[in-house]
Amino acid sequence: MKNNKEEKDQKKNIITLVAAHKISSESVKIVKEKFGEDYEIKEIIDASLLGGIIVKSDKKIFDGSVKTKLQNLHESLKK
């Protein structure tokens, strides 16, 4: 039988932060404040992003990466 802590841990949602470089503790703090304590923060380093950050939750994805901005610019210039 599961105890209350185990049940609470299973209910935690995960926010994934993907960045080109180590994510500052201040940035993690801001995300935690925005989403609340019910979320666990998972950090991933992906140098191909070049800069910026991608924030993924169970419902939304915010892509503020330099890679995506450059891809969008490239697509708009092709038109």
Residue 6 or 52, more confident: 52
Entry pTM: 0.76
Can you give the pLDDT at residue 36? Answer: 83
Domain with 51 in it: 4-78
Name the more confident of 6 and 55. 55
* pLDDT tens, residue by residue, 17-55: 999 999 999 999 998 898 887 889 999 999 999 999 999
31-37: long-range contacts, CB 8 A cutoff, minimum separation 24 = 31/55
List all residues 6 or more positions away from 14 whose beta carbon is below 8 Å from its beta carbon: 39, 40, 41, 42, 57, 58
Q: What is the pLDDT of residue 25?
A: 93
Q: Give how many domains the chain has, as a whole number.
A: 1
